Amino acid sequence: MSTTEVRDSGVRKLQVPHFVRGEVRWGEEREYFSRDLGLPFVTPEISFDEIVTPRSQPSPMADVPLSEILDFLVETRERLDLDTNEYLQESLELTSQISGISRTIMENLFRLPLDFLRRDAMEYRLERNFGSLDVLDGWVEHVDPNGRASRVRAIPPRLIHMIAGNAPIGVMMSIADGVLVKGINVFKVPSVDPFTTIAVLRTMADIDPDHPVVRSLSAIYWRGGDAQVEGILYRAQYFDKLVAWGGGEAITNVAKYVGPGFQLVAFDPKVSMSVVGHEAFESDASLHEAAEVLASDTAGMNQDACVCPRHAFVEGTVEEVDRFCDVLIDHLVVDRRHKGGGPRTPAYIREAVDGLRFLEPEYRVWGSYDGRGLIVRSPEPVDWHPNNVTLNVVPVSSMADSARYATVATQTVGVWPYHRKAEIRDRLAYAGVQRVCRLGHAGMVTLGIPHDAMYPLHRFVNWVVDDDG
């Protein structure tokens, strides 16, 4: 795969192709700009007739046995090797040019093992979501306590996906999810990474461009919020559901299209946090252990992932928490496999922190604005969004007190020491938290668990019943 570039008055514009049911489409009719760095790229026009399947036509995968679909995904996994896959190699090179994430981190992300595409892993996820894999292949009969029979099937859906662009593995999982439910899938690729989705789909097409899986997949780009595109596609006569990853503004924009027959499955923007118990102060070793696991969770992808904590609640006095921050900053600034080379602290944080420096000792600051690590200790959570490896540390008198700062927008809460998770998990859950984990394990997600308080694959399909009544 050769890199195509378009030059206009000396400005280099990367060319982003579309992928339509097994075919790659190149063109220069539309020009856009990447989110992070504002670099230009061009795409072909969208061919609505080609990506919209009439309701009279079922998904190409509808009657394909699930076992064959799993075979195809397993073979795809074997070919998604950065060292041998030219599409992924080019995607890495191009994405690293337009993304705010450093090339080193991007390469490490591309090299993550795709364990979720192992056959046993996919079967386990499907069993956790559906109870039985049989509902994906046909009608499963049930008899109620009154002796009435019915048959239920998970009908393949018609899905549009707004893909998250902050990690290649998220792209690959979105594609796999759409395939596992045998859906007709159209992926809106993100401007921060418009290349990886196409690279994976081209890999699939190399296996067999006419395979029902490949013929069920399309990937295109348009600017989010473009009513001329979304006003056409976001309709019940064409699609069943919109699977949306994105920020608050993006989710609010697409929500206006929701109506009878067209549903929104939203992975809303979330803010994660951490809780550290007083056991951290039992020894120097425990102090460093707690600081290390908190720093590793905070710094992942330069704090760009939704599982990264923005606020840490530490059980202890102000003096103890300051001692913890003295140790924590040394762990936070360390470059890691998925941290380093990030942008400098944004202006809104610098301005807020500069003001807080005049309020010592009520507030204290550790670190610098170079993007390697910054800590703000405050009596209450700050009212701005910590980002770019910025952590807000708040002293609490007990772990239970931290739960009052959790809301329905809180996704993941990491807890240290681990044995105290059970002590606060109910309080956190009642407050709206969707996941409680071991601190240091925020990015280590167990297969088959709910995500954002739901089983996503169960939500994707259309549940239809043949009822004897």
3-state SS string for 344-372: CCCHHHHHHHHHHHHHCCCCEEEECCCCC
Residue-wise pLDDT tens digits, 356-383: 999 999 999 999 999 999 999 999 999 9
Q: What is the 3-state secondary structure (H, E, C) of 173-194?
A: HHHHHHHHCCCEEEEECCCCCC
Measuring CA to CA, which residue among 449, 447, 453, 419 is closest to residue 433?
Answer: 453
Can you tell me the mean pLDDT for 51-64? 95
**Do 199 and 319 fall into the same domain?**
no
**pLDDT tier at 164, thresholds 50, 70, 90:** confident
Residue 397: domain span: 271-438
Give the count of beta carbons closer than 10 Å to the beta carbon of residue 175. 25
Identify the pLDDT of residue 340.
Answer: 87
**Do 264 and 159 fall into the same domain?**
yes
Residue 147 reports pLDDT greater than 60: yes
Identify the pLDDT of residue 5.
Answer: 44
**Do 236 and 314 fall into the same domain?**
no
Identify the pLDDT of residue 1.
Answer: 37
The answer to whether 134 and 66 have CB atoms below 8 angstroms apart is: no
Q: What is the CATH number of the domain that holds 433?
A: 3.40.309.10
Residue 394 reports pLDDT greater than 70: yes
Whether 444 maps to a domain, the answer reads no
**pLDDT tier at 247, thresholds 50, 70, 90:** confident
Residue 101 reports pLDDT greater than 90: no
- And the tokens for 43? 């795409």
Domain tally for the chain?
2
**Do 250 and 345 fall into the same domain?**
no
Identify the pLDDT of residue 63.
Answer: 96
Sign of dihedral through CA atoms 249, 253, 259, 262? negative
Whether 443 maps to a domain, the answer reads no
Identify the pLDDT of residue 94.
Answer: 94
> H or E stretch including 334?
none
**Do 16 and 113 fall into the same domain?**
yes
The answer to whether 395 and 316 have CB atoms below 8 angstroms apart is: yes
Residue 142 reports pLDDT greater than 50: yes
Identify the pLDDT of residue 411.
Answer: 95
**Do 123 and 30 fall into the same domain?**
yes
DSSP string, 263-303: EEEEE---EEEEEE-GGGGS-HHHHHHHHHHHHHHHHGGGG
**pLDDT tier at 13, thresholds 50, 70, 90:** confident
Whether 447 maps to a domain, the answer reads no
Share of the chain above pLDDT 70, in %: 97
Can you tell me the mean pLDDT for 46-50? 94
Can you tell me the mean pLDDT for 162-188? 94
pLDDT top residue among 101 and 17: 17
Contacts of 19 (CB under 8 A, 6+ apart): 25, 197, 198, 201, 202, 205, 217, 218, 219, 220
The answer to whether 441 and 417 have CB atoms below 8 angstroms apart is: no
- And the tokens for 58? 């079922």
**pLDDT tier at 6, thresholds 50, 70, 90:** very low
**Do 385 and 259 fall into the same domain?**
no
Can you tell me the mean pLDDT for 311-340? 96
Share of the chain above pLDDT 90, in %: 88
**Do 380 and 457 fall into the same domain?**
no
Whole-model pTM?
0.93
Rounded CA-CA distance 350/113 in Å is: 37
Residue-wise pLDDT tens digits, 68-98: 999 999 999 999 999 999 999 999 999 988 8
* Alpha carbon 157 to chain centroid, angstroms: 21
pLDDT top residue among 246 and 433: 433
Identify the pLDDT of residue 397.
Answer: 97
Q: What is the CATH number of the domain that holds 459?
A: 3.40.605.10
Whether 445 maps to a domain, the answer reads no
Q: What are phi and psi of 382, to 5 degrees?
A: -65, 155
Residue-wise pLDDT tens digits, 181-196: 999 999 999 999 999 9
Rounded CA-CA distance 230/396 in Å is: 46
Torsion region of 336: left, alpha or beta (phi above 0 gives left; psi -120 to 50 gives alpha): beta
Rounded CA-CA distance 392/151 in Å is: 53
Residue-wise pLDDT tens digits, 395-406: 999 999 999 999
Whether 409 maps to a domain, the answer reads yes
Whether 109 maps to a domain, the answer reads yes
Whether 446 maps to a domain, the answer reads no
- And the tokens for 463? 């549940």
Bridge partners, 339 (sequence order): 336
**Do 321 and 400 fall into the same domain?**
yes
Give the count of beta carbons closer than 10 Å to the beta carbon of residue 379. 10
Residue 3 reports pLDDT greater than 80: no
Residue 329 reports pLDDT greater than 60: yes
Can you tell me the mean pLDDT for 23-45? 92
Residue 4 reports pLDDT greater than 80: no
Query: What burial letters (b/e) apply to 205-226, b meaning 16+ CB within 10 Å?
Result: beeeeebbbbbbbbbbbbebee
Identify the pLDDT of residue 10.
Answer: 53
**Do 158 and 187 fall into the same domain?**
yes
**Do 121 and 92 fall into the same domain?**
yes
Whether 336 maps to a domain, the answer reads yes
Identify the pLDDT of residue 7.
Answer: 46
Residue-wise pLDDT tens digits, 216-239: 999 999 999 999 999 999 999 999
Q: What are phi and psi of 50, to 5 degrees?
A: -85, -30
**Do 218 and 311 fall into the same domain?**
no
Can you tell me the mean pLDDT for 192-215? 97
Mean residue pLDDT of the chain comes to 94
